[in-house]
Protein backbone atom coordinates (compact mmCIF):
# COMPACT_ATOMS: atom_id res chain seq x y z
CA UNK A 1 0.00 0.00 0.00
CA UNK A 2 2.87 2.41 0.78
CA UNK A 3 4.28 1.95 -2.71
CA UNK A 4 0.85 2.74 -4.16
CA UNK A 5 0.67 6.01 -2.20
CA UNK A 6 4.04 7.21 -3.42
CA UNK A 7 3.44 6.09 -7.00
CA UNK A 8 0.01 7.73 -6.98
CA UNK A 9 1.42 11.13 -6.05
CA UNK A 10 5.02 11.56 -4.85
CA UNK A 11 4.44 15.30 -4.34
CA UNK A 12 3.14 14.47 -0.84
CA UNK A 13 6.56 13.31 0.33
CA UNK A 14 8.42 15.46 2.84
CA UNK A 15 7.62 17.95 5.54
CA UNK A 16 4.99 20.68 5.27
CA UNK A 17 4.41 23.71 7.53
CA UNK A 18 0.89 24.92 8.32
CA UNK A 19 0.39 28.40 6.83
CA UNK A 20 -3.38 28.82 6.95
CA UNK A 21 -6.60 27.41 8.36
CA UNK A 22 -10.07 28.23 7.06
CA UNK A 23 -13.04 27.13 9.18
CA UNK A 24 -16.58 28.17 8.19
CA UNK A 25 -19.82 27.35 9.96
CA UNK A 26 -22.21 25.84 7.40
CA UNK A 27 -25.47 27.09 8.96
CA UNK A 28 -24.41 30.74 9.16
CA UNK A 29 -21.44 31.13 6.79
CA UNK A 30 -19.57 32.66 9.72
CA UNK A 31 -15.78 32.33 9.66
CA UNK A 32 -14.46 30.77 12.87
CA UNK A 33 -11.05 31.13 14.53
CA UNK A 34 -10.18 34.18 12.44
CA UNK A 35 -8.00 35.61 15.23
CA UNK A 36 -6.66 32.28 16.50
CA UNK A 37 -3.01 31.61 15.69
CA UNK A 38 -2.40 28.03 14.61
CA UNK A 39 0.92 26.35 13.89
CA UNK A 40 1.85 22.87 12.83
CA UNK A 41 3.66 20.42 10.64
CA UNK A 42 2.65 17.39 8.61
CA UNK A 43 5.10 14.90 7.15
CA UNK A 44 4.61 12.10 4.62
CA UNK A 45 7.26 9.38 4.25
CA UNK A 46 7.91 7.13 1.25
CA UNK A 47 7.20 4.01 3.33
CA UNK A 48 3.57 5.11 3.79
CA UNK A 49 3.90 6.68 7.24
CA UNK A 50 2.74 10.15 8.21
CA UNK A 51 2.69 12.40 11.27
CA UNK A 52 0.81 15.60 11.97
CA UNK A 53 0.93 18.06 14.88
CA UNK A 54 -1.24 21.19 15.02
CA UNK A 55 -1.46 23.67 17.91
CA UNK A 56 -4.18 26.28 18.40
CA UNK A 57 -2.61 29.06 20.46
CA UNK A 58 -5.27 30.46 22.76
CA UNK A 59 -4.65 33.72 24.62
CA UNK A 60 -4.17 33.10 28.32
CA UNK A 61 -4.99 29.39 28.06
CA UNK A 62 -3.11 26.19 27.36
CA UNK A 63 -2.65 25.44 23.68
CA UNK A 64 -4.99 22.86 22.15
CA UNK A 65 -2.99 20.23 20.33
CA UNK A 66 -4.10 17.79 17.66
CA UNK A 67 -1.53 15.15 16.76
CA UNK A 68 -1.54 11.71 15.24
CA UNK A 69 0.58 9.09 13.50
CA UNK A 70 -0.91 7.11 10.64
CA UNK A 71 -0.43 5.09 7.48
CA UNK A 72 -1.39 7.01 4.35
CA UNK A 73 -2.53 6.21 0.84
CA UNK A 74 -4.43 7.80 -2.04
CA UNK A 75 -7.98 6.87 -3.04
CA UNK A 76 -9.18 8.87 -6.03
CA UNK A 77 -9.04 12.57 -5.14
CA UNK A 78 -8.53 11.96 -1.40
CA UNK A 79 -5.62 11.10 0.84
CA UNK A 80 -6.50 8.62 3.58
CA UNK A 81 -4.84 8.64 7.00
CA UNK A 82 -5.42 5.35 8.87
CA UNK A 83 -4.64 6.53 12.41
CA UNK A 84 -2.45 4.27 14.54
CA UNK A 85 -2.11 6.68 17.47
CA UNK A 86 -3.70 10.03 18.30
CA UNK A 87 -3.40 12.48 21.18
CA UNK A 88 -7.21 12.57 21.12
CA UNK A 89 -7.82 8.91 22.03
CA UNK A 90 -11.14 8.59 20.11
CA UNK A 91 -9.25 9.22 16.85
CA UNK A 92 -6.98 6.18 17.33
CA UNK A 93 -8.05 3.49 14.88
CA UNK A 94 -10.09 5.91 12.74
CA UNK A 95 -9.80 6.73 9.07
CA UNK A 96 -9.24 10.45 8.46
CA UNK A 97 -10.22 11.34 4.89
CA UNK A 98 -8.92 14.55 3.30
CA UNK A 99 -9.54 16.03 -0.11
CA UNK A 100 -6.31 17.45 -1.47
CA UNK A 101 -5.07 20.00 -3.97
CA UNK A 102 -1.53 21.01 -4.88
CA UNK A 103 -0.77 24.56 -6.02
CA UNK A 104 2.88 25.50 -6.45
CA UNK A 105 4.77 24.60 -3.27
CA UNK A 106 1.52 24.41 -1.28
CA UNK A 107 -0.90 21.64 -0.39
CA UNK A 108 -4.48 22.17 0.74
CA UNK A 109 -6.13 19.40 2.76
CA UNK A 110 -9.89 19.50 3.35
CA UNK A 111 -11.77 17.09 5.59
CA UNK A 112 -15.40 16.39 4.70
CA UNK A 113 -18.04 18.81 5.96
CA UNK A 114 -18.82 17.52 9.42
CA UNK A 115 -19.39 18.40 13.06
CA UNK A 116 -16.35 20.28 14.30
CA UNK A 117 -15.05 18.84 17.59
CA UNK A 118 -13.74 22.28 18.59
CA UNK A 119 -16.91 24.33 18.02
CA UNK A 120 -19.63 21.68 18.08
CA UNK A 121 -21.23 22.94 14.87
CA UNK A 122 -21.10 21.63 11.31
CA UNK A 123 -18.20 23.28 9.49
CA UNK A 124 -16.26 23.31 6.25
CA UNK A 125 -12.52 23.29 6.93
CA UNK A 126 -9.36 23.53 4.89
CA UNK A 127 -5.73 23.60 5.98
CA UNK A 128 -3.03 25.04 3.78
CA UNK A 129 0.50 23.68 4.06
CA UNK A 130 3.76 24.96 2.53
CA UNK A 131 6.61 22.60 1.62
CA UNK A 132 9.55 23.01 4.00
pLDDT tens for each residue of 15-50: 999 999 988 888 888 887 777 888 999 999 999 999
Please give the residue range of the domain that contains residue 93: 2-131
Residue pair 79/88 in contact (Cβ under 8 Å)? The answer is no
Ranges of residues in the chain with a pLDDT under 70 are 1-8, 117, 119
How many independent structural domains does the chain possess?
1
pLDDT of residue 100: 97
CA–CA separation, 22 and 78 (whole Å): 18
The pLDDT assigned to 5 comes to 55
Model pTM score: 0.86
3-state DSSP helix/strand/coil % of the chain, to nearest 5 = 10, 60, 30
The CATH number of the domain holding residue 90 is 2.40.128
Amino acid sequence: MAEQAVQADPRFLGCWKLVGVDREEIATGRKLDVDTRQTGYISYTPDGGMLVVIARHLDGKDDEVTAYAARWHIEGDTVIHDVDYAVRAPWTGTRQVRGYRFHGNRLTLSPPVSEDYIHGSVTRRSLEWEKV
